Amino acid sequence: MKTLKRINAPAMLGVFLIALFLMAFVLPQEKKKGGTWNIPEKYKTMKNPYAGQKDLINVGKMLYAKNCKSCHGTNGKGDGPRAAGLTTHPGDFSNVTWQKNNTDGDLYYMAIIGRDEMPNFEKKIPDEQDRWSIIMYLRTL
């Protein structure tokens, strides 16, 4: 009768650690999504007064890099270095449905007024044209 080989403890530990490492790619990594935004009507219907001024997209890009990139990531996918410390996912601006379902006014409210982990930027970005520049840049992501 064949006998089972003795279990090699270091090898088992190694297998366990490798399995643990691989599980990191399998287990859901998604953060909790923030609930639906409750956006006041006056913001929903806001129109971008600078629409068509394409030169402002570059201004928005600069402001995005300084104010938003650390959480929202270079391409707006919500994968910035500070996103890991947040409770909720910062959202994916490159998502076509997200772009389609939100008006410019919605974006303005979310980006400038904020809520919970999304800070208010009214004082940090006091200039109205700068604020809309960021919205215009978000539309390009």
Partner 1 sequence: MRKVVICVILLCWMMNLAMAQETSKAEKREPVRSPYESGILLDNQTCVIYPANTLEFLLEHRFGPMKYGMEDLFGIWAPANIYLGLNYSITDYLIVGAGTAKTNRLQDIHWKWDILKQSRSGSIPVFVTYYGDIAMDARNKSVFGDNYKFADRLSYLTEIIVTRKFYDRLTLQVSGSFSHINKVPEGQDHDKIGLSFGGRFRVSPQSSIIVCYDLPINTKAITENIPLPASMPNFSIAWEIATAAHDFQIMLGTANYLNRQYNMIYNNVDWTDWSHGSPLMLGLNLTRLWSF
Q: Does residue 65 bind partner 1 (CB under 8 A)?
A: yes
Is the CB of 45 or the CB of 58 nearer to partner 1?
Answer: 58
Q: How far apart are CA 136 and CA 11, in angstroms?
A: 56
In the set 8, 40, 66, 114, which binds partner 1 (CB under 8 A)?
Answer: 66
Smallest separation (angstroms) from partner 1 to the CB of 35: 25
Q: Exposure string (b/e) for 13-39, b if CB count within 10 Å is 16 or more?
A: eeeeeeeeeeeeeeeeeeeeebeeeeb
Q: How far apart are CA 9 and CA 13, in angstroms?
A: 6
Is the CB of 67 or the CB of 103 nearer to partner 1?
Answer: 67
Is the CB of 8 or the CB of 120 nearer to partner 1?
Answer: 120
Q: Does residue 55 bind partner 1 (CB under 8 A)?
A: no
Counting every residue written for the chain, the total comes to 141
Q: Does residue 62 bind partner 1 (CB under 8 A)?
A: yes
> What are the structure tokens assigned to 11, written together?
């090898």
Hey, which residues between 89 and 108 contact partner 1 (CB under 8 A)? none
Q: What is the DSSP string of 67-107?
A: HTHHHH-TTSSS--TTGGG-SEE---TT-HHHHHHS-HHHH
Smallest separation (angstroms) from partner 1 to the CB of 66: 6
Smallest separation (angstroms) from partner 1 to the CB of 79: 17
- Judged by DSSP in three states, 33 sits in strand
Binding-site ranges for partner 1 (CB under 8 A)? 58-59, 61-62, 64-67, 69-70, 121, 123-124, 126-127, 129-130
